[in-house]
Structures are given as C-alpha cells and as structure tokens.
Copies of this chain bind each other. A is one copy, B any other.
Amino acid sequence: MLTERSGRVREARKLLRRPAREKSGRFLAEGPQAVREAVAAGPGRVLEVFATPAAAQRWPEIIATAQAAGVSVVTAADAALAALSETVTPQGLVAVCRSVTVDLATALGGGPRLVAVLAEARDPGNAGTVIRCADAAGADALVLTRGSADPEGGKAVRASAGSVFHLPVSSGAPASDTVDALRAAGLTVLAADGIADLDLDQAEDAGLLSGPVAWMFGNEAWGLPPGVRSLADHVVRVPIHGRAESLNLATAAAVCLYATARAQRRPAQP
C-alpha cells in the first residue's frame, strides 16, 4: 500500500499546482463523482486511480470500471489520499487524468450553436459551476480566455460535477482571438453585462437568441474587461425586476444560457 512518501503519490501531488498541471498536461479528479465521470470519459482519459481500502470497498463499481478499462488502480493509505486532496473531508478516491482542454479551433470545430465564454473569471468554483450550467443547457463548448481560472483545478473540477469531461473546454486563448474564432464559427457574440442596450427578453424578442450564439461572461467583481465588451455584437443584461443590484456570475450565466437553449428549440414565431 502506497504512503504519502511514495514517488507516485508525490508526483501526483504536484498536480495540485497549476504550473505543474500545465507542464505535464495532467490534472487530478477528486471524489467518487469526478472519478466516475473521468473513467466514463473514455479510453486514455485516466492514467491511474488512487484509492484507500475503505474507498475501494465503498465504490467497487468505480474501481471495477477503471480496471476493466485497463486503468491502474493503486491502493494507498489515508494519509496519501489526504495529501492529494483539497477538501476538508477527503473521500479517499483520486484519479490522475490527461488534460481535457483543447485548442480554440477544436472546441469550435463542430458547427457550434451555443458556446459559453468566461473572460477573466478568476474563481475556480464559479468556472466549474458555469461549465456545469453550459453542459446542462446543451452548450457545444466552453471557452476560458487567458487570465481566467484553470478549469482543471480541484475546485473547478468538483464544482463542474463531472461536466468538465462532457463538453470541449478551451483555456488560455486571448480574448480578441477568441472573439475572432467565435465569429468565424458563425456565432453571434453576446456580452453579458449589467450596463447594456438590450435586456435578455428584448434580445429574445428580437430573435437574437434563436441562431447560433456565443455568450461572454466576465469577472466576478468587475464584469467584462472593456476591451472584450466592445468586441461583442451586442451587449445584453439580465433584467432586474426587483431591487437586487445584479445576479452573481453563475446564476446570470444559467439564466442567459437557458433562455438561449429555449429560444433555439422553439418553433419559429409567426
């Protein structure tokens, strides 16, 4: 049984830091839900799984699926798994995964109809939650511009609830290249911002949401960088019907993405 001092554990532990993830093209998926989704994501995604004896006993189907896929499952001590964990109560299961991120051209290559872009969103929990929303709303890709949180960080992977394995995710391209690529892919580029000419209902009524759309969402504290905002075809705000100043990033993204998913699926209005 491996301990926290074993070479394999120490090697995996480096992946808790972003530079090591970027250099190696690997990241960690922690906990039964993330490991289950990683293993289900297809051959080659998972390189190895570390499990405590208790975790292996508790989630035998995850272990069996991994082994059936030819993934090495290593039993390790509680302290070893704790060393690979970022959570307060580690669940004893961690997978070392090959990076899921792809370049912009690949992410946008399949004739996308709905794309979500995070421009300089820094909070990994928000990034993961928006990835989950984008997946749920049927988005074809998720793009994080340079300066955004790492979608393969622990918090982002956990908040995505497995969705990081479900749709193409691109990370690190400059915002201007991103907008060029979105437009080249035939998408109308909408910037979500509190100050805007159109609200979401007006955008829908004007038919803007019915065609292929990319939504750009900005930073938690200061919104979209002005240079990014100005690149969009339209700036659209979520209407505030009460006295709140705004919505938070993830809930605003959910509202915009779902309004679009619905508009795209509705029969054309007469």
Contact = CB atoms under 8 A, between A and B. Distances in A.
B136 A246 contact: yes
Nearest to A201: B262
22 contacts: A132-B247, A133-B247, A136-B240, A136-B241, A136-B242, A136-B247, A138-B241, A139-B242, A161-B248, A162-B245, A166-B242, A201-B262, A201-B265, A241-B261, A248-B250, A251-B253, A251-B254, A252-B254, A254-B255, A255-B258, A258-B258, A258-B259
Those 6 A-B pairs whose CB atoms lie nearest each other, nearest first: A138-B241, A251-B254, A136-B244, A135-B244, A135-B242, A166-B243
Say how many copies of this protein the assembly contains: 2
Contacts of A255: 254-255, 258
Interface of A: 129, 132-139, 161-163, 166-167, 201, 204, 238-248, 250-255, 258-259, 261-262, 265
Given A247-B254, A259-B259, 19 more contacts: A132-B247, A132-B248, A132-B251, A133-B244, A133-B247, A136-B238, A136-B240, A136-B241, A136-B244, A161-B244, A161-B246, A163-B242, A163-B244, A241-B261, A251-B251, A251-B254, A252-B254, A254-B255, A259-B262
